[in-house]
Chains A and B, each alone.
Chain A
Amino acid sequence: MTSANGQPLKIAVVGHTNTGKTSLMRTLMRDVDFGEVSNRPATTRRVEGASLSVGGRPLIELYDTPGMEDSIALLDHLSAMKKDRRDDGVTVIRQFLESPEAAPGARFSQEAKALKQVLAGDLALYVIDVRDRVLGKHRDELEILSWCARPVVPVLNFTASAEARTAEWREHLSRVNLHAVAEFDTVVLDEEGERRLYEKMRTLLDRHHATLDALIEQRRIERQQLVSASARFVADLMLDAAAFVMVVPLDASTDTTAAIERMKQAVREREQQCVEHLLALHRFRPEDCAGADLPLSEGRWGFDPFSPAAVKQLGIRTGSSAAAGALAGLTIDAMVGGLSLGAGAAIGAAIGAVLGTGQLHGRRLLDRVRGRSELRCDDATLKLLMMRQIWLVRALRRRGHASVEPIRIEDVRERETKDMAGRRLPEVLDEARTRPQWSQLQAGPMPMPGSLADWTRNAALDRLTAEVQKMIAATPSSR
């Protein structure tokens, strides 16, 4: 799988200062801690390498270099060195690297570090902030790179920006004979973009064809696995929340609020746990996700068909005494409203008397006779939980590892919200409602591994995972 001579493919990441070289490294490495990233010049002042591996075997070595800052002067200097017209660029650059001007602390020391890596490597990635115009300094940088006689793949960064001058850059690059241009926004991770970047590199590096193929394939598999693992976390959370039931004696009314609070707290913590798992899975740190307090609905009294008070309450809360079927729409509206307000309070009181399956009514009847009632999360809460997690997964998939801004869960976009709110809850969750033993939040002994409850839960988990996976992939990830 390694290249022809067994050496890893060496790539120098170069570019003007503050164009996102270290960001590109971070995103390709999926490592939020690599190097240092800031919106300042000369953040990276040394050459730091990293290797990309497939199956634990390093295939590619990437070298992050300091930004070139004074290319205009450097090109003047190099041109002056090129006394003989027959001298080729590489010779001049090698001479330059030997000269005192390239020594540490000298005038061109930073540029020299970058050029040294270009010469040592098989290929150079030239990172461009496409929000910049094509300026003289860029032209000169490209000119100097062309002297190095190494294949160059220009990487257009910040293509997602409104100011992006992608066309202008592409035109100029093609004029200097650079056609294998990759668009790769390091902040907004585009899965296609990464693959195309490797493909562009592959077209210029015939010898390393197999290496890059292996890497592309590996990244594809990893992405798939990431999605299915994420879906599994979400499905697990959903089963736990949907199956969670708390039985409260009807007479002890003082206990209720405490019970509701306990329940809410348990679900909140469970969601937080899921969020942490998802972040860790995508190799982000917990502080990358600033979460709002979970807008849980009241883990209200089980919808008791015999209690006029509950029905009345429904009527008041929804502003209509329509049948449960009609309520579903209202619940969703309330939920969407609450989300766009960014506050859970609006949902807090929202009804959610939708779960009216026959089985549940039967259970309730029985409970009523026994003089107790059940508390469980309502549909609105479940939908909300699922939507938020799916949204989070989508956001994480899109997020480059160079992003500095934290994700905010309140920022759920309206369209996505509506898109999901319009759907029914997966049937598996209806089934889960009737199986308290599926919930890990349930007090009491867990279902024994291998027991029937465990088996059925696992089967349900598989089904739900598949469904969630579909939902994650459903909306196009591009904005």
Chain B
Amino acid sequence: MGQRYDAAMSAPAMRFDERNRDRAIRADDRLLAEMMLAQLRVGGTDINDQNADDAARTASGDLETRLVVRARVVKNAGELTEALRHVRHVLWLLVAIGLFLALIAGVATAQAVMSTARHESVNFFLVFGSLLGVQTTLLLIWLGLLLFARGSARVSMTAASLGGLIMALARRIIHWTHHGAEHTAAVSALSTMMMRSSIGKWSISAISNGLWLAFNVGAMVVIVALLSARQYAFVWETTILSEKVYVPLTRAIAWLPATMGFVTPTPEQIVASQFIAAEGAASQPSSQIVAASKAWSGLLVGSIVVYGFGPRLLLLGLSLGRRRAARSKYRIDLSRPEVLQLRDRLEPPASRLAVIDDSNVLPRTVSTRGMTDARPKRPIGSPAIVGVELAQPPHRWPPSIPGGKSWNDLGMVDRREDRQRVMQTLRTSQSQPGAMVIVCELSTTPDRGLGHFLTDVASVVESKIWLILTGGQQMRDRGEGGDIAQRVDDWRALAVSAGMPVDRVVELDLDHLTHTTLGVLASIVPPGGGGGPTNAAPAHARRLEQAFCLIVEFTRRCQAHPDSIRHEDQATLHQQIASLYRDEETSWRNLLRVPASIQSTMAAGFSAQMPGELASSLKSSAQRFASFLPDRLKRSPKWLAAGAAAGALGCLAAAALISPVAIGALPMWSVIGAAIAAVVQSSRTTTNQDAQESASQQFSDAVRAAALFALILELQGRDERTITRVLDQAIPEAAMNADIAHAADVERWLNDVHHHLDMALAREAVR
């Protein structure tokens, strides 16, 4: 209730207050504000004055009012006022001295021109010219400049006048006597005020006219005194001019004084007053001479009043009046930088309000994965693809899959109806898609609505769901290339919240497919209907990637029969990997130090017994291979065993390559076990575990061995220390200790290793 009352009352109250304040703000207040601004301009004060800011902010009224209020309460307000008072005192003192001097000058001038030897006549026009000539000329120039001058001419005009002189003198005196920043600010503010308005002009002209007024007063007092106390005879003289010039001239001068009531000489008197040496005075009766002198003296006094005293008095009044008007009209220039600087503090254009609804808990998309209704398993069909909210669908839709498989194209999803259609299709179709590929754009912000859709799809599709993020180029075109990694992470987070594994989110530009990305696409789409070649990886993919694909394939098969992993299968895998590197066979055989004799051994066939030769060559290969491992891995029994296994199996694979035998049929697997055990035992003092390994351990051992084999084959051609160094980086601590228990883990683990290998190779290239 109180609030409403305030709102209703505050408006008129404020207006009243405003009016009051407006009346209260005077030029002096503004001057004080200008001083504050001058100090800010030169950086003389710290702008941070919380007290002053607060006071100004709470003051009602416009910005200028706030500035004035701030100037009144700013920290050094007292000093500022004091400084201003000093400056004013100096100025007034100087004006007073100037007036006194002008008065003296007037007295002196008048005395000088009137002092003649007794009974000598006074030349009227000389007196007139001396007293009024200079000042009238200056007055006319001043008027002309006032009316016509512009810009800097006007500035120099005002500065060069008597008033300007006084001002300059005052400034100098201040400068000599006071060195404080406040005094500088006062002078600066005064001059700002004078420059930015007509205050300066009228102040200076008031002083100038005041001085001349004093001069005239002084002169007139002396002249009136002299005329009262002494007898003067006024004459005019000429050498070349005639009375035809002097009579109209005198009448013209006399016209204005005459209208004002002063006695002026008549034409006859003027003619009679011409100075004619000696005889003139005698030719006229003395009464006439006295009357003429009276008339001339009336003209003199009248001229001083009308041409000297009067105009100066008028102009003084005018200047003071205009100055006053200008002062009350003066407003602080609000577009100056220092004002804007303050405005941000005093009248912020925007301010923050409180935070409402401050709960940061984001709703989570509930994963329904695993809650799939128990329906009879449907047969696997072709892979399905759907595009979601694509602004620029790829040129080829659906994208072609290497290997000539076809998509089940579910089209584009933009609207609710599309979503319903796709869900309906997925729910009712006779077959389960071989893989479900959802294509989104990187430029789309992953939102909960999309997460919702992913969750829905996941709830009806049992096969793997992949999320392909296309359109990276578009994002880069927007200049947001740097955000891509973040965006992918956001999508991953969304996918995870929808119950998908992180690694199913793949950034893949469908418009710019490369061999590598095609390979990825191919690996996403499993062999339809369960058939197809095991070697699904495209031939042009990097051999290491193919090798890793083989490993993944292998683990998938193993996962189907997780009871035990047979050495035969492992050997076959190694043989497959080795065959990828067939071209460099000699090179890696040297690397592995596969003895040439093994060929003959193999060729001879050892179905019956185990030739010691073979056993020893397997063992040496295993040792050789283990020696490549960096120390860190050597210390891990798991890795040492893996290295040994890779060596032994590799040796066998090499032999099998040279003289093709059905490697799986070789009945000598215990030899391998022995070779591995020999290597492991040679470095370990105690063997606490036997061949009684669990299935999952066997599984992970097999993966490690195969991966190591593939890595070393990939790295061949480098010297041993380089291989060791790269291996060290390719299998970081996390990968080293990772638990590889499932096929899904294998893929992620291999990706990780691959990633680190790439980085290591990149570093190696820089070396």
Contact = CB atoms under 8 A, between A and B. Distances in A.
Given A51-B351, A56-B57, A70-B452, A40 B445 contact: yes
Nearest to B87: A450
Given A109-B361, A454-B191, A233 B337 contact: yes
A110 B362 contact: yes
Contacts of B758: none
Interface in A218-244: 218, 222, 224-226, 228-229, 232-233
B449 A71 contact: yes
Contact of B340 (A17, A40, A226): A226
Contacts of A45: 359-360, 362
Chain B interface helix/strand/loop/mixed: helix
Contacts of B279: none
Interface string B347-381: 11111111111111111000000000000000000
Interface stretch (A275-283, A354-362, A388-396): A275-283
A5 B3 CA distance: 12
B486 A40 contact: yes
B347 A133 contact: no
Interface stretch (B148-156, B283-291, B547-555, B744-752): B148-156
A229 B335 contact: yes
Nearest to A16: B447
Contacts of A280: 341
A133 B414 contact: yes
Contact of B362 (A18, A42, A75, A137): A42
Interface in A182-208: none
B63 interface: yes
Contacts of A226: 340
Contacts of B334: 225
B357 A113 contact: yes
B510 interface: no
B190 interface: yes
Given A30-B350, A72-B449, A281-B341, A135 B356 contact: no
Interface in B472-511: 474, 477-480, 483, 486-487, 490
Interface string B449-478: 100100000000000000000000010011
A76 B188 contact: no
Interface stretch (A319-327, A331-339, A455-463): A455-463
Nearest to A230: B337
Contacts of B490: 40-41
Contacts of B438: none
A405 B184 CA distance: 42
Contacts, number: 207
B159 interface: yes
B418 A136 contact: yes
B447 A131 contact: no
B473 to A, nearest CB: 12
Contacts of A476: none
B350 A224 contact: no
A450 B353 contact: no
B117 interface: no
Looking at chain A, what size class is its interface with the partner chain? 35 or more
Given A46-B359, A47-B355, A53-B350, A449 B335 contact: no
Nearest to B340: A229
A31 interface: yes
Interface string B178-209: 00000010011011001100000000000000
B416 interface: yes
A28 interface: yes
A209 interface: no
B344 interface: yes
Contacts of B7: 5-7
A449 B416 contact: no
Interface residues of B, number: 76
B349 A105 contact: no
A478 interface: no
Contacts of B151: 459, 463
A86 B661 CA distance: 83
B167 interface: yes
A451 B168 contact: yes
A451 B449 CA distance: 71
A322 to B, nearest CB: 35
Contacts of B171: 448-451
A278 to B, nearest CB: 9
Given A70-B449, A109-B359, A113-B357, A449 B188 contact: yes
A327 to B, nearest CB: 30
Contact of B187 (A104, A277, A448, A455): A448
A452 interface: yes
A444 interface: no
Contact of B344 (A69, A105, A137, A283): A283
B448 interface: yes
Nearest to A215: B349
B419 A72 contact: yes
A467 interface: no
B337 A281 contact: yes
Contact of B191 (A29, A46, A69, A450): A450
B689 to A, nearest CB: 49
B734 to A, nearest CB: 26
A135 B389 contact: yes
Contacts of B353: 48-51, 61
Contacts of B415: 135-136, 139
Contacts of B66: 56
A265 interface: no
A443 interface: no
A277 B41 CA distance: 11
Contacts of A41: 445-447, 490
Contacts of B452: 70, 72-73
B448 A70 contact: yes
Given A41-B445, A72-B452, A161-B478, 19 more contacts: A42-B447, A46-B358, A46-B359, A47-B357, A48-B355, A52-B349, A53-B349, A55-B62, A58-B351, A105-B359, A136-B416, A280-B341, A283-B344, A448-B171, A449-B171, A450-B167, A452-B156, A454-B191, A455-B191
Interface of A: 2, 5-7, 16-18, 28-31, 34, 39-42, 45-53, 55-56, 58, 61, 63, 67, 69-73, 75-76, 104-110, 113, 116-117, 131-133, 135-137, 139-140, 161-163, 218, 222, 224-226, 228-229, 232-233, 277, 280-281, 283, 405, 448-452, 454-456, 458-459, 463
15 contacts: A45-B359, A47-B358, A49-B352, A51-B351, A52-B350, A53-B351, A61-B353, A105-B361, A108-B363, A109-B359, A136-B415, A225-B335, A451-B168, A458-B195, A459-B151
Q: Closest 3 CB pairs between A and B?
A: A136-B415, A450-B191, A49-B353
